[in-house]
Chain A
Amino acid sequence: MVHDLYQETILDHSKRPRNCHPMDDANRKAEGYNPLCGDKLKLFLKVENDVVQDVSFVGSGCAISTASASLMTESLKGKSREEAMKLLDKFHELLTTDTPVSNDLGKLVVFCGVRDYPARVKCATLAWHTLKSALNGTATEPATTE
């Protein structure tokens, strides 16, 4: 039923997103945009010695995209660039394949219900697309889910 998608943690993070504010001393920034639904996201990162020291976001979107951004910021702190990219791959696998849920995902496993809602996968990945663009530092245009 619909509660498999909207698990308690997701509803909680969508109503009270964590790390949801701009960051003045960020040294990496990127914008994300989902042209299909109009969801917008700005991501701020403070990366020192290749490690994510701090991360925050602002934006407007649905419960899934807001909760995904919020939970992503919580799981990124202290991770190296490489670790962050590995997490991104695992997260994508969680949403788009039937493989057993990986133990490395921590709280992010609450998004496992999204795999049964293909139309909502892009909502869950918007923040992660934006992260990739911020970490690669090549973004001249907003990251897009398309």
Chain B
Amino acid sequence: MSTLSSQVSTILDVEKIRQDFPVLKQTIHDKPLVYLDSAATAQKPFAVIDAIRRFHEVDCANIHRGVHELSQRSTAAYEETRTKAKRFLNSRSKNELIFVRGTTEGINLVASSWGRKNIKEGDEIIISAMEHHSNIVPWQMLCEEKDAKLRVIPMNDRGELILEEYEKLLNPRTRLVAFAHVSNALGTINPARQMIEMAHKAGVLTLVDGAQAAPHMKIDVQALDADFYTISGHKIFGPTGIGILYGKTKLLNAMPPYQGGGDMIRTVTFEKTTYNDLPYKFEAGTPNIAGGIGLGAAFDYMHAIGIDKIAAYEHELLLYGTAALEQIPGLRLIGTAREKAAVLSFVMEGIHPHDIGTVLDRQGIAVRTGHHCAQPVMDWFHVPATTRASLAFYNTAAEIDALAAGLQKVKEVFS
């Protein structure tokens, strides 16, 4: 395996990249930290930390409302992130990019605004069997309110959606298909372009949950022809509490505001309020300015490394990790899709994921254990929970070796 490990290291200078992430330079229980939980939240490079610090130290002011210098500076820095997001997602215009708290809010915005206006009794919304709770519950709430029906695209044993079944679900009552570009629990990369094309042929709109795709692959909302696409900043090495919702201009213009307040209005009287233009119509109140500026730095950071290089490196790491874990007797990978992002979800015979997580933690290894906010996925695979190692470009083959060694230790404790 040492051959493989030297191969992976040539795509990126990972040792240099690791210097950018201060959190990685620490020991946990006297062992070097091995952070394998980036699908929960990714670590932050100095570039992001410094941008947020600089805002608070030098430029801090509210945005879109002051004529003074600081307000001009903070407004420019915040709005600059929208321009960077346009490049990151390849949208036509920056006006179709709405700042939200994260993917969850992006989905809720569409469900509340577009959904309440357009979904009627008897309509159908399609989601998939591998959705995160955040792409299930908002639609469930909407369906309950409107007496509409939620339909679910099933998946196979590998954790791949069955497109023939999806095709059958599309019908004249279908209004929207909402699905994850990449599954957080399984790592499956769904064929988003094809799924959107199938929906459009049936005259149906699409929302793509891009939370887990954005850290790992190039996103192009125009090539995908997605109607809505939403991402979280903290999964792409930015801060928490900030994300982006992309929507096609025509759709966003026709949608009512999501929340009322300052910044989203043009004029207000007690008789009538007129709303602001896109994107501000959907951005009520003082936003997460520092977070927005930090997200801009994260876009730049990923751009500088190169998303294609990131994807290629992580793919090698995934293959290496898959091979390493498959050698452990009694370990079963959950999610073995042919197209997969750098997520290794697994169960071990007779050992509960929580116990695995605790023993690994004592060796400095951070993994996620539990249902990963995707209980229907767990039910489908008949497991109560899994252990999930999720990788980023700052992880190394040596860290995969540490995980494999850690799992041997787990087996010793519980043998």
Contact = CB atoms under 8 A, between A and B. Distances in A.
Contact of A64 (B350, B351, B354): B354
B384 A40 contact: yes
Contacts of A62: 352-355
B352 to A, nearest CB: 4
A38 B414 contact: no
A38 B381 CA distance: 14
Contacts of B413: 2-3, 6, 11
B361 to A, nearest CB: 9
B378 interface: yes
Contact of A123 (B354, B375, B414): B354
Nearest to A122: B354
Nearest to B350: A15
A2 B362 contact: yes
A61 B358 contact: no
B270 to A, nearest CB: 44
A61 B352 contact: yes
B378 A63 contact: no
Given A11-B414, A37-B370, A38-B375, A63 B355 contact: yes
B372 to A, nearest CB: 11
Contacts, number: 49
Interface residues of B, number: 18
A146 to B, nearest CB: 13
Interface in A38-63: 38-40, 60-63
Given A37-B385, A38-B384, A62-B352, A117 B358 contact: yes
A60 B369 CA distance: 15
A38 B385 contact: yes
B28 to A, nearest CB: 13
A120 interface: yes
A117 to B, nearest CB: 6
Interface in B361-385: 362, 369-371, 375, 378, 384-385
A6 B369 CA distance: 18
B29 to A, nearest CB: 9
Interface string B326-351: 00000000000000000000000011
The A interface is mostly helix, strand or loop, or mixed, namely mixed
B359 interface: yes
Interface residues of A, number: 21
Counting chain B CB atoms within 10 Å of each CB, the highest count among A1, A3, A36, A38 belongs to: A38
A26 interface: no
Interface in A100-140: 117, 119-120, 123
B358 A38 contact: no
Nearest to B357: A119
Contacts of A37: 353-354, 369-371, 384-385
Contacts of A2: 358-359, 362, 413
A39 B353 CA distance: 11
Contacts of B385: 37-38
A63 B371 contact: no
Given A61-B352, A64-B354, A123-B354, A38 B359 contact: no
Interface centre among B352, B370, B384 (most CB of A within 10 A): B352
A88 interface: no
Contacts of A40: 384
B358 A39 contact: no
A5 interface: yes
Contacts of A60: 384
Nearest to A5: B358
Contacts of B359: 2, 6
Contacts of A38: 370-371, 375, 378, 384-385
A5 B354 CA distance: 13
A145 B370 CA distance: 15
Contacts of B354: 37, 39, 62, 64, 120, 123
A40 B371 CA distance: 13
Contact of B370 (A15, A36, A117): A36
A124 B378 CA distance: 23
Given A1-B362, A2-B413, A6-B413, A39 B384 contact: yes
A3 B384 CA distance: 25
15 contacts: A2-B362, A2-B413, A3-B413, A5-B358, A11-B413, A11-B414, A37-B354, A37-B369, A37-B384, A38-B370, A38-B384, A39-B384, A40-B384, A63-B355, A123-B354
Given A2-B413, A3-B413, A120-B354, 8 more contacts: A37-B384, A37-B385, A39-B384, A40-B384, A62-B355, A63-B414, A120-B358, A123-B354
Closest 4 CB pairs of A and B: A62-B352, A62-B354, A38-B384, A2-B362
